[in-house]
Each structure stands twice: as structure tokens, then as C-alpha cells.
Chains A and B, each alone.
Chain A
Amino acid sequence: MRTKQKIIKVPFIGDLIYSSGHTILGILLGIFTGGLLIAISGVNPFLAYASMFRGAFNSLQSFSNVLVRSSPLLLGGIGVAIGIKSGVWNTGIEGYMYIGAIGATIVAIPELGLPPIIHILLCFIVAMLFAGLWGAIPGYLRAYKGVNEVTATIMLSYVAIYFTNWIVSGSPLAQEGAYFPMSLPFAESSLLSILMKGTSLHPGPFIGLLMCIIFHIILKYTPFGFRTRMLGYNPFAAQYAGINSKKQIVMTMVIGAMLGGLGGAIEVLGLKHRLYMEFVTGVGYESVAVALVAGGEPIGVMLSALFFSILKVGGATMSIETGVSSSMASIIIALCVLFVIGVGVADSKRLKKRDEKDPGKKTLSFKMEEAVK
């Protein structure tokens, strides 16, 4: 009797589980090794993690802090992730966030007499426009002049940071006589509303999560996503198939920049209510780590961004309560990145074997052995 495999597919959940596999494993290994390091530093790792957990979840307020903290990581994370999918390292998220925030600031300060929703949308649009144009520079350099995009984006990030410093200290938008370089306050109508009383929870994290889902769908189910993936897998074949790879590279970098810019705008509109000097130190670079841990998958970005912000928010509590160094959170993040990359390498060997066994691996498949005469 022969047996025939029948495969039932559950596309979305299947995608989710598949694309999160590496991420979860890498995170677990990171937590484990982090625990070892905590133990070496003389603290019981269980107590330390418990304190971290409490720091992140013990109250609505702390949990909303986790969400708020994840907002720029989610947006920056997908921005980097779609770059990875098309084969470019769009590492300039930090700069896009500043430029986006500047764009938002310009239209957020004046009282325009618009209803809040319109005013906010206007801020978002200008932010994305600014950041998108900014991202077009390294995109153009990479696609048409062959300039390494990592170098170009990081250099431009510095330019953006110094530009912001000038905006908040020397430009007409700056608040005069402030104790710290900052812009004028934003108009009331431009501020994001607080979703929960007594917390700082603004809609940013939900916008970020929504974007992750949207970009997952775009990458998987649209021609644009098809092109992007093709370019990432095999640039020669992409060119052969008539894809304008230069244009595609510029586009993915611009989109990544727009997402980063949106992230920056949400930070200032939702949390800071002004533009400050160095308001996102390092978040842009953490976004790169988020995307790496996510393996370039937007769905994985959801997981890794939330995890990173739990680490960051809970890490502060852990350090206060147990005396573990406050940089432990960053160390664990770095460990996760290394492990995800390591797992990826180890897994590519295993995958080869699994490919033989289960070609429908990208979809969660329940196999039913069905007897055939």
C-alpha cells in the first residue's frame, strides 16, 4: 500500500511560526547565556530575570513603557528588514529618525488650526517625505555609484545628528534660553493622544505592529515584494527578469528611511512633545539588531522588537534591584544577534536535510497519512 501525504496549509500562522523559529531559538540562547554571565557576576540569574520580568510587567504602566519603547524599534526594524530582503544593509535608521523628527517638528510647532487627526497625519507625511529624501541619497549612491551603503548611511546619520543639534540650538525653531537644547513646544493639535490614563502609551507601538503585518503581506503577496525577494536571492536573475535593480534598491532604501522617519516623528509627537538634541541615542542601531534577530522577516521584527524593549525596560529594574550592571540588557541583545546568526548557519545545514523531507516547510503543515489503493 502506498501512502500519500495530504497537506493542509494555514498560510498566515504557518508563515508566523516558520519565520519566528530562528528568532525564538536565538532569543532563548541569548537569555540562557546572559544568565550564565549574570551568574558569573555573582547574582542569581533566576532572581535577576524575575526582577527584569517584574520591571517589565508588574504594572500597566511598566507594560505600557515596554510598548512605547518598542515603537521606534518596530518601525526601524522593518525598515532594516526590507533592506535585508532585497540584499542591502540600510543601517542609517538613526539618521532617518532625526530627519523625520525634524520634518514633523517643522509642521508640528505652528498652530495650523487643523483638526488633530489631520495635523498629525500632516506631521507623519512631512516626516516620511523628509526621511525618504534623506534615504534616497545613500540609495542613489549605492545603486548608481556603487558606494557601500553601510558606510554611506552611517556617515549620513552623523550629519543628521549634527543637523538636529543645530535645529534645536541655533535655528528659528529652537527654544531660546532652554536648559537643554530643544525646539519650541509642539502645537496641541499635533500631539498623539494617550491611550491609557496614567501611562505614556501612545498609538505608536500599534502603528508599528500594524506596519509589520502590512509589510509581511507586501513582501509575500505583492509584485513589489516578489521583486524585492528576487533581488535579494539572486540579483543576476532579477536583472535578467527585467527588474530595474537600481530603482528597486533605491525604493527599498527610501521605504526603509520613511519607516525610520515615521518612527522618529512618533517619538517626538507621542512622547517628547518637542524635538530634543539626541532624543533617540542608539535606537536606530538597535533597529539593525532587531532586524537581524528577526532574520529580516517583518513578523520576526514584531517579536524581537518587543523582546528588546522588555530587556531595556526590565533591565533598568533588574539593575536597580539586583545590582547587575545596567549594560547587561545590551549584552543580552548582542548575544541574541550572535546566536540568531549562528543558528542560521547551523540551520542551513539542517534545512538542507529538511528540504528533502518536507517541501511545504514554509507553511505549517499537518500531514495526514491517507491510504491510497
Chain B
Amino acid sequence: MNENSILLKMQDISKSFPGVLANDHVTIECEKGHVLGLLGENGAGKTTLMNILYGLYQPDQGKIFVDGKQVVINSPSEAINHGIGMVHQHFKLVDTLSVIENVILGIPTNKAVLDFGPAKKKLEKLCKEYELFVDPEEIVWRLPVGKQQWVEILKALYRDCKVLVLDEPTAVLTPSESDQLCRAIRKITEQGRSVVFISHKLREVIEITDKVTVIRDGKVIGTVNTKEATQSILAEMMVGRPVTIERKARPTVKEHSAVLVMKNVNAFDDRGVQALKDFNLTVHAGEIVGVAGVDGNGQRELSECITGLRKPSSGSITIQDKQVTNVIADPSFVGFIPEDRQKTGLVLDFTVAENLLIKDYKEKPYVKNGFLQYSEMKKHAEHMIKKYNIKSPSGDIKVKTLSGGNQQKVVIARELDAQPVLDVASHPTRGLDLGAVSNVHDILLNERNRGAAVLFISAELQEVMALSDRIVVLYSGQIMGELNGETADQFTIGQMMLGQTTEAKK
């Protein structure tokens, strides 16, 4: 291979955190105009490696070469100067600023008064070039997640990067948005730039990358040419055993009373747009109802109304005949995995132990004589870390130092361990590796078999089909149709997701 064509090389990188060796002599290479996929289980060290490249962490050892020259990167601004751009696993945008303000934020300027004119022109040009359209004037929090992702990418491109790192960019994207991203990535590489692409979705990895490096426990397991790889090869390299997401046999559950009953529910989203329209749904004990649909069609409002976080404007919601009026924060009644773990599900500055108990902190063993029992909380954390396979050196560390997928596992552990009557799982597998996805499926299936009512909201069609007894398709705040989980076919669901059933029926 011609050495000159290698745009990025990270050689023999090691990085340890207390109790964890996050990167262990890792070497990766990416050629000019290529896409390198990084695959690995949760906590394998992918984000850490990229944070090193972006100057957020200093490696304990190892060298970085950009364009054949060795570079030392001490901070993100140095990384940007070396032509490295990064889209982080969790959004780093300032919610209350506009798109254009976010894009130019942090770019040094020698003007006293900011002139947005040229910046806006440049941004609009980029939008057109990569077909990632956003309105520069819009305030970021008003944008749907997908658009926010575009802003992150445009922000990196605006800084004219040679190497673009995308850390799980598709976790929050709809399938069609993911396709759009793939097209943009192709355009980026055509210009001789390189992309490092991290994802747990093997299909995408195979579609978009040229080479894939698989990392396990901080070590490189191997690098393969994507052409020669299949999903199952990659899965096996990643997890060390074959894993597939498929429908598993399930017993019928005798207990079949209605647990969640929603009648004519109307609700509005934060922007004041109607998000649920005369919504009716019943979920019974011992069944998994999958809610399929493109994200942003009322999924978030649905889950929030059920758990009392959002007040419906009209209609009634009952759980075991009890009207939902206030926030339900009793995990032994309703377990709720919210869609945005960092914003809603976790207190990042709390420890793992505290986060596992943000709902139950005032219950028996954790409070004695009015005082919190940190030793009991710690014991509980240690137990949960083992039981749910959370990669964390102890319960005492802040949850924000865990890898993205392991943060998600903390939420899952907290919400599902208490055996609730109703599970509301909103994108529970987002950001999880294949093995962990299959574990979560097992957990949810066990919940169902135990007799819990499970509402499974997901944008992953394959997962919905693998897991659900019944599938409802949500479109524009309404249920487009209901299908049997055993017999549903992808095409019909896909049609309904685009809102086409009603016309077809008419």
C-alpha cells in the first residue's frame, strides 16, 4: 500500500483510566478518500480513541500522524488546526443559540462586531453541497434531532476538516435520514477527505465504509476490507460469538388483563404543535406492543403522557384502572426508559450508584433514620453493575465517565429491575452494541413472560418485528394501523410509517 495515501494514522495508542484500560496499543489507519468504520462493544474504547484524536484526552503512549506528519494534539482547537473535525456521540450544541451562531461559535475572529453575512453564505453553500438542509436562523432546540445532527456535521465541515469523525451519528437518525447521511459522506470522501465512522448498526457499516477496524476491550481484534465482510463476520469479531437479532419463541401468557388504556388522548409537543391526535391504545399484561414509526411522529409525547411527564390536553390514560395524573416515578409500578438518556434519564454529575437510585433513594435500605446510606447504595450499585453487565469500575464514579452504551444500561437497570406492571421502553437499545441489544430483548421478553405489559417504542423496524406481539404504526400522532407481530411484513409497516395506509384503504 502506498504510504502517501494514508491520511490518518494513530499508532500504538494506549490510554488508561482508573480501573480501566480503555485503549491498549491501538493502531488504526485511514486512507485518503476512504471511510474507516470503528466497531466494538459498549465500552470497547472507540469514543476514547476519537477523543484522543480530537485533543480531549492525552494518550499514555502512541503517535498520531496526519498526512504523513507526526502531530501532537493538546486541545480541540489544535485538532481543528490539523484538519480534524468531530461529531460527538452526544450533542454538543448550545440549545438556545441559532444554527449559525452554533456553527461559528469558537472560531476566532478579529472583528469587534460579528458579521453573520459571509458565515451564513458559506453555511448555505455547504448545506447545498452536501444536501443537509437547515435554516441558519432557527434556534437549535426547535430543530428535530436529525436536523441537529446536520448542524453538528456542518459545524465540522465549516471548519474545513480533512478527517471527519462521526461518533454514532445515526443512533438518533431515521432510516431515510441515515441514507441522506450516507450520501453526504460519499460526497465528503469524493473530495479526498476521510471519515471515521462509528456505529453499532452493521448494515450501515457495511454500506458506507471501505475498511472496518474492530476493537474489543480496548484492543484491536482486526481490520477487514468491507467488501470481504458480512454482518455475521463483523458481529462475531465484535462480540466473540455469533449474535443475530431475530424473533425468539415465546410462550403465551395466561394473564391478559388490560394494563394501559389510553382513550382519545390529545397532546401537544414543546413547540405547541399537536403531537397526539385522538390517540387510543390498550396494552395488556403479558404482551409486547411495538410502536413503529419514524421518530418525531409523537413517540416522545406518547411515552411522556403515559408516565405523567406531560399533561394531555384531553382524553384519559389509566394504568391498572388508576388514572395517570402526576409523574409516575415508582419503578415497581411503571418502568420508563426515556428516549434521551443524558437529558432526562440521568444526572450526569451524580455517581452510578446515585443514578441507579434517583427514584428509590428514599426507600428502605437506602435511608435509615432520615439519612442516606451510601454504603447500601454502593452495594446496590455493585449488584446492578454485575447483573446488567455495566462496564464501570465501581459505583462511585460519575455516570458521565461511562461510555454511551453503558450509560444506557444504567437507565435500563434502574427501570426494569423492580419488575414493573408496565414497561415503557423508548428506544431502549439506542447506542447499545449487538450483544447488549440482544440482552435487552431478552430482558423485555422476560418481562412479558412474567406478565408485565410492555410498550416498546423504536425506530428500528427489525427490532420491533423481532420483539412485538402486536405492532402499531405511529404516524403524525395517530395510529396508522395495527399488525400481528408474527405475521407483519416489513413492506406494509414501511408503507404505514410513511402515512400511506389510509389512502390505500380509501
Contact = CB atoms under 8 A, between A and B. Distances in A.
Interface of A: 5, 220-223, 225-226, 229-230, 233-234, 236-243, 352-353, 355-360
10 contacts: A221-B371, A221-B374, A223-B361, A223-B362, A226-B354, A230-B347, A236-B344, A241-B359, A353-B58, A359-B401
A242 B401 contact: no
Given A222-B372, A359-B398, A242 B330 contact: yes
A239 B18 contact: no
A242 B330 CA distance: 8
A34 to B, nearest CB: 31
Contact of B372 (A221, A242, A355): A221
A298 B428 CA distance: 39
Given A237-B343, A239-B327, 12 more contacts: A221-B372, A222-B371, A229-B350, A233-B347, A233-B350, A236-B343, A236-B344, A237-B345, A237-B358, A357-B18, A359-B393, A359-B397
B329 interface: yes
Contacts of B361: 223, 226
B370 interface: yes
B258 interface: no
Nearest to A4: B19
Interface string B149-160: 000000000000
A355 B401 contact: yes
Contact of A237 (B330, B344, B370): B344
Interface in B40-60: 56-58
Nearest to A231: B347
A227 to B, nearest CB: 8
Can you list the 8 inter-chain pairs with the closest CB atoms, starting with the nearest?
A242-B329, A359-B397, A241-B358, A223-B362, A234-B347, A233-B349, A237-B347, A233-B347
Given A239-B309, A242-B359, A359 B18 contact: yes
Contacts, number: 81
Interface string B325-342: 011111000001010000
B119 interface: no
Contacts of B367: 223
Contact of B398 (A223, A236, A237, A355): A355
B327 A240 contact: yes
A237 B338 CA distance: 10
B396 interface: yes
B57 A222 contact: no
Contacts of B343: 234, 236-237
Interface residues of B, number: 38
Contacts of B350: 229-230, 233
Interface in B13-36: 17-19
Contacts of A222: 370-372
B262 interface: no
A359 B344 contact: no
A180 to B, nearest CB: 47
B285 interface: no
Nearest to B392: A359
A357 B343 CA distance: 25
B348 interface: yes
Contacts of A242: 326-330, 359
A180 B362 CA distance: 53
B396 A356 contact: no
B256 to A, nearest CB: 29
A360 B326 CA distance: 37
A240 B372 contact: no
Interface in B360-386: 361-362, 367, 370-372, 374
Contacts of B348: 233-234
Nearest to B372: A221
A271 B185 CA distance: 73
A240 B328 contact: no
A225 B401 CA distance: 23
A220 B377 CA distance: 14
B47 to A, nearest CB: 13
Interface string B87-120: 0000000000000000000000000000000000
A93 to B, nearest CB: 26
Contacts of B359: 241-242
B397 to A, nearest CB: 4
Nearest to A5: B18
Contacts of A226: 354, 361-362, 372
A239 B308 CA distance: 10
Contacts of B354: 226
B346 interface: yes
Nearest to B394: A359
A364 to B, nearest CB: 14
A241 B347 CA distance: 10
B57 A356 contact: yes
A358 B349 contact: no
Contacts of A230: 347, 350, 358
Nearest to B22: A356
B153 to A, nearest CB: 24
Given A222-B371, A223-B361, A223-B367, A240 B329 contact: yes
Contacts of B401: 355-356, 359
B89 to A, nearest CB: 16
A161 B354 CA distance: 43
A311 B7 CA distance: 60
A84 to B, nearest CB: 14
Contacts of A359: 18-19, 393-394, 396-398, 401
